[in-house]
Every structure is written in structure tokens, then in C-alpha cells.
Amino acid sequence: MTTRKLILENGEVFEGTAFGSENGSDGEVVFTTGMTGYQETMTDPSFCGQIVTMTYPLIGNYGMNRDDFETIAPAIKGFVVQELAKTPSNFRSERTVDEFCKQKNIPGIEGIDTRKLTRMIRTEGSVKGYITAVGEEVNVEEVVTRLQNTTFPTNQVEQVSTKSAYPSPGRGKKVVLMDFGMKHGILRELNKRDCDVVVVPYNTTAEEILSYNPDGIMLSNGPGDPKDVPEAVETIKALIGQLPIFGICLGHQLFALASGADSFKLKFGHRGANHPVKDLKTGRTELTSQNHGYAVDPDSLEGTDLEITHVALNDGTVEGIRHKVHPVFTVQYHPEASPGPEDSNHLFDEFIELMNTHAGKEQSQHA
């Protein structure tokens, strides 16, 4: 067994056993609380640039398969677990987590106290960290100083968004899906409903989007700070009032900014598959899958045409908003699950209904 270290900017050092890539890597160290769904987590583009810590102690026991990827090009910078299963036991398993991490150049470390690391992040907030390369001798003080003086890139959306538009054909409603780092679960849910989807890059203009003559627009999830994607904010601003819009995660935050609201960075984010969210209209509580480090500032909604529709029961943060005039609604969490509960899957049906209603109004106006 080969040892390696996880060094944090606060000087804390965790020593464990290496797996995956032999290379070193630095990134923002975050934690996620999902008990299962590690494959979807590892391949979620919203984790771009981050070293992901799993709080559940045993990871890899059902292996990796071809069906559960959220992207085929994972963007995480490292994977931290307490114990890694060496021999998966599941009929769908095709390779181990270790083999996958080697193939995708993801450095991993196991055998550290992930409870201590998680408590530290909860107390101090997300921190910068470095996973050492296999066999690398480092001066911890020098690494800490480097991390403290490092500013990570802010172009995560550009890194993970598609570089060109592509179709995902169907015979139903025409939807343009703006890809800010899309989980393929979103596309799967639209395809299930026979939507005729065109996926476009994050910096596609409003004019280009409208030229596809869609029935509705989907704003995907994605990594990083929504304020780092000003071109997307301008595009969304131009689209509001044109067509029905449904936004998820980063798409939710970008819509809020486009409507005159503000966002802020959470201390340690919401990441996991067990976050309770309350629907203020129905009073119903749904368990949701979440992965974000920023949230919409509720005070900034004053004076806008937005109203809060959902709140997080853990900390009261905004989890959903709706436009009071135009057919637009967005949520901070992931109704497509992948991984996690499917309590909120009905929101895709509501999007279809919204497009149908809007189309009916358009036809009656032209009649």
C-alpha cells in the first residue's frame, strides 16, 4: 500500500493510502452526505475543480457501471473516502472505483478520518487542499503557503459546457437546454417525456436560442459562482418573457441574477442526497438531491418580480423561486435526482404543462 497526504491551507495534514491516479492535485475540499450514488457524484460537472469527500464510510461496494454517468469526462480534482471497497459485489459492476480513477486521472486517498475533515469544513468553511502525488516528498509549510496564495480559476462553466450545439431528438415539445455543466439526468428526464431537445453552449446568445423556435428553455446546473458567468445572465435577461423557462441549480441562480436579485457563497455548501425542502404552496416536504456552494439572497428579492416557492428546512435558504408575471420557475435542488430521491421529479411534468399552457395562449392570441 502506498501512502499519500491531503494537505489543507489551514495547515492540517491527513495521511492515508493512495488509489486512483498517481499524480497530485489541488482544489477546493468539500463534502457530500450521500450514502450511495458515488458514481453520479464523481461524474457531476458541478464538482468541477473540487476535491470531493464522501461522509459515508464505505465507498465502492457496488462498483462502477456504464449507465450511471452524469458526464463521460469527470471534472473533480480528487476523491476522499474513509474505506474503499476493493472487490465490488453487484451484477451491474464493470470496474472498481480505483480502476475508474486511474483511467480518468483522478487522485484518491482513503483511510483518513473523514469525520474530522467534515467537522473542520463545517466549522471553517470549504478550504483549499492538495493531494500529494504518489512518492512525492513535500514541505508541508511550503504547500500551505502556496495554497493560501492560490486563486483557483473561475471559468469552471466554460470548462465543462459543451463546445457546440447538438440535438437529442424527440417528437414532443421543442426545448433548448443551456448547458452550464449539465448532468445527463436532466437530459434523460426531458427525453423520457419525448422532448425534442437541442443542447447549446453556456455562452449562446438569446437570438441564437430563439432561432431554434423552441417551446421552452431549460437552464441546467453547473459549477462555481453564478457571477462568473455574466454573458449567461444577459442571455437569460433577454429571454424572460419570451418563452417558458425552467432552471435547476446554477440555472436557478443565474435566473435570479437576471431578474435583479443577488447571490452569496455558502459557508460549506449543500451537497448530498437527503436535504429536506418545503414547498410553500402545498406545505409538502420533499427530500432532495443537492450540490451547490452558492444560494440566492432572500433579501435581494424585495422589489423584484420574483417570489419564493421553496425553502430548505435545514437552514432556511431559498430553494425555489417563481416569476410573478412570466412563465418561469426555478429550483436550487436536483429534481432529476441522480443520485438521490425522486420526490421532486414531478417538476419536469410541470414544465411540460407550462409549455402546453403557453402554446395554448399563443394560439388563442393568433386566432
Please report, in range form, the residues annotated as the binding site for L-glutamine.
Answer: 46, 222, 224, 250, 253, 291, 293-294
Cell of 316: 432556511
Cell of 268: 460549506
With CA atoms as reference, report the closest residue to 53 among 122, 146, 99.
Answer: 122
Catalytic residue status for 336? yes
| Sequence-distant (≥ 6) Cβ neighbours of residue 174 within 8 angstroms | 195, 196, 197, 198, 212, 213, 214, 215, 216
β-pairing, 318-323 vs 328-331, is antiparallel
With CA atoms as reference, report the closest residue to 46 among 353, 345, 336.
Answer: 336
Q: What gap in Å lies between CA 26 and CA 320, rounded to an integer?
A: 33
**DSSP run (H or E) holding 285:** strand 285-296
With CA atoms as reference, report the closest residue to 267 among 308, 234, 197, 314.
Answer: 314
Contact 274, 287 (CB under 8 A): yes
Q: Which residues line the annotated binding site?
A: 46, 222, 224, 250, 253, 291, 293-294
Q: Choosing from 249, 270, 275, 319, which is the catalytic residue?
A: 249
Catalytic residue status for 358? no
Beta bridge partners of 41: none
β-pairing, 245-248 vs 328-331, is parallel
From the CB of residue 93, how many other CB atoms can be counted at a distance below 10 Å?
15
Catalytic residue status for 366? no
With CA atoms as reference, report the closest residue to 289 among 170, 141, 183.
Answer: 183
Terminal-residue alpha carbon distance, the chain:
74
Cell of 204: 449562446
| CA dihedral for 245, 250, 254, 260, sign (positive or negative) | positive
Burial class of residue 190 in the structure, from the number of CB atoms within 10 Å of its CB (0-12 exposed, 13-18 middle, 19+ buried) = buried
Question: What residues act catalytically?
Answer: 249, 334, 336
